[in-house]
Amino acid sequence: MKKFLGFILLAFLGFATPLFAQRTAIFPRFVSGDGWTSQFFFTNQGISTVQDIVVKFYAYNSSGTRVQVTTNLGTAYEFTFTLTAGSTQAIRITSGSGSVQGYVLIDYPSFDDPIRASEVFNYEAGGVVTTEVGVPQQELGDHFSFPVEIDPTKHVYPAVALSNPLSEAQTLVVNLHNSNGSIQSTAIVPMQAGEHRAGYLDQDWLFPGLNNSTFIGSASVSSPFGIGVLTLRQDKNAFGGIGTDGGAILAPFSVTSPFGFDSEPNDYTEEAQLITLPVKISGSIEYAGDWDFYRFYGNAGQILTVVSDSTGLDSALDSLLIIYDADQNQIAYNDQNGLAPGLYPQNDSFVQVQLPNTGIYYIAIQDYFGDAGDTTGYEYNLHIKVR
């Protein structure tokens, strides 16, 4: 059995966190029937009781139809419960649901409610559980990375599930990195609103032919506005989740020369500083609310990468990057690059996006909180390239 159950499991893990004004988390997939079961566990990690936690079940389709499931709490489309401090609530979908698939939304009454939730998928064949994978409640992210190991002689293969939970289409950039950090290949993955795609890394829409030889490295996924990513590893006939990191891989996109400097005034698109790529720009956010704008000419289909580095300068800047097209439509946005080497995440930003048209584009950088350093203390380096 080379690559069968892994693909099925990824199809069950394929939805991500949408954007909501209130605190709403999501489980990417649930399933019951055909040997699969799903169980959910909610734990109150705080010291106060949390009331009115609502768990809603939706069918997997483009319209988001509610679906009724049979669980240990009864048969319904949604369940509401209370968690006292330190307590755990389990929801187990039972065989009475028949064969159902979908995703689960969890509404928490307050953004600060310290509830952690996880899901366990089981696959049973012939009375033996052959697959069991734990999945935490999901958060939406712009960048993800995960290790890649392929060894056909040992039947070791990675796979990935990608989900676009937004109400608009977007295009993902997926990079395959060699063990030395260089990029072996790049895949462009268009995603319609609400679309889910899943499969092994050697499929035609990712990196065809990859599984024909051994490989050790990593992969990264970048989204202009937010995406859900889950990864899986098959080892012989066993399947399990891979630790998927919420951060980019930056090294291949650094620029050493040519080198330029921020030239004021460049506070608006009309004043945007003209640059030629690749380039490394040294600049500073000089006053409260200051924006620095740069403009360049790009071709449709090129991949733009912008790395904002303030951490390496010991700068106080908490950067925010926005990319605009010639009509000042926002085509990409990023606040945090997702890297968290210590207790706190880096305050640097990272954008990687495919340019949709040929023409002028604008890169804008600001401090996230609108702070400034009066020419010092809020410095940055921008590494900008297209390929």
Please report the pLDDT score of residue 356 as a whole number: 96
Chosen domain end from 249, 281, 302: 249
Whether 14 is in a domain gets the answer: no
270 and 374 together in one domain: yes
Provide the domain limits for residue 188: 142-249
- The predicted pLDDT at position 376 comes to 64
Note whether 290 and 341 are same-domain residues. Answer: yes
Are 26 and 129 members of one domain?
A: yes
**Residue 219 covered by a domain:** yes
Q: How far is CA 267 from CA 285, 286, 293, 385, in A?
A: 10, 11, 6, 22
Residue 177 pLDDT greater than 80, yes or no: yes
- Predicted local distance difference test score (pLDDT) of residue 106: 86
Looking at the structure, tell me whether residues 101 and 168 fall in a common domain.
Answer: no
Q: Is residue 202 domain-shared with residue 273, that is, in the same domain?
A: no
Reduce the DSSP state of residue 211 to 3 states and report it: helix
Q: Are 176 and 251 in contact (CB under 8 A)?
A: no
Under a CB-based contact definition with an 8 Å cutoff, are residues 223 and 143 in contact? Answer: yes
Average pLDDT over residues 153-163: 85
In sequence order, the 6+-apart residues with CB closer than 8 A to the CB of 303 are: 173, 186, 188, 352, 353, 354, 355, 386, 387
208 lies in the same domain as 305 = no
* Residue 15 within a domain: no
- Are residues 122 and 181 located together in one domain of the fold? no
Q: Answer yes or no: do 84 and 194 share one domain.
A: no
CB 123 within 8 A of CB 130: yes
pLDDT at site 1: 42
| Comparison of pLDDT for 187 and 129, the residue scoring more | 187
Of 217, 249, 281, the residue at which a domain comes to its end is: 249
Residue-level pLDDT at 352: 97
Strands 279-284 and 215-235: unpaired
pTM score of the predicted model = 0.82
Q: How do residues 90-105 score in pLDDT, each as one tens digit?
A: 999 987 777 887 778 8
What pLDDT shows up at residue 7?
A: 44
Query: Measured between alpha carbons, how far apart are the two ends of the chain, in Å?
Result: 39
Angle, CA of 309, 313 and 314, to the nearest 5°: 115
> For the segment 34-74, what is each residue's pLDDT rounded down to a tens digit?
888 899 999 999 999 999 999 988 776 555 578 899 999 99
Closest CA to 91 of 124, 120, 123, 58: 120
Q: Across the chain, what does the average pLDDT equal?
A: 86
pLDDT of residue 211: 73
CA dihedral 260, 263, 266, 267 (to 10 degrees): 100
Dig out the tokens for 247 from the structure.
């951060």
pLDDT band at 343 (very low <50, low <70, confident <90, very high): low
Residue 291 within any structural domain of the chain: yes
| 194-242: pLDDT as tens digits | 677 778 999 999 999 887 789 999 999 999 998 878 788 888 877 777 8
Neighbours of 353 (CB within 10 A): 24
**CATH number, domain with residue 167:** 2.60.290.11
Instruction: Kindly state whether residue 2 falls inside one of the protein's structural domains.
Output: no
For residue 64, the domain's CATH number is 2.60.290
Picking from 300, 309, 261, 256, the residue whose alpha carbon sits closest to that of residue 278 is 256
* Claim to verify: residue 46 and residue 111 sit in the same structural domain: yes
Residue 88 lies in a domain: yes
pLDDT reported for residue 48: 94
Name the strands in the sheet holding 330-334, side by side, starting at the edge strand that comes first in the sequence.
Answer: 273-274, 291-298, 359-367, 319-324, 330-334
Give the CATH number, domain containing residue 286.
2.60.120.380
Domain shared by 109 and 212, yes or no: no
Best CA proximity match to 311, nearest among 380, 369, 248, 255 = 380
pLDDT of residue 125: 82
E-assigned strand segments in 237-358: 238-241, 259-261, 273-274, 279-284, 291-298, 303-309, 319-324, 330-334, 350-354
On whether both 131 and 148 belong to a single domain, the answer is no
Give how many domains the chain has, as a whole number. 3
Q: Which residue matches tokens 């620095």?
A: 292
In a domain, 13, yes or no: no
Do 112 and 200 belong together in one domain? no
CB 349 within 8 A of CB 310: no
Q: Which of 89, 118, 136 is the last residue of a domain?
A: 136
Amino acid at 274: L
User: pLDDT value at position 236?
Assistant: 81
357 within a domain of the structure (yes/no)? yes
- Which contacts (CB < 8 Å, 24+ apart) does range 263-269 have? 266/292, 266/293, 266/294, 267/291, 267/292, 267/293, 268/293, 269/293, 269/295, 269/324, 269/328, 269/362
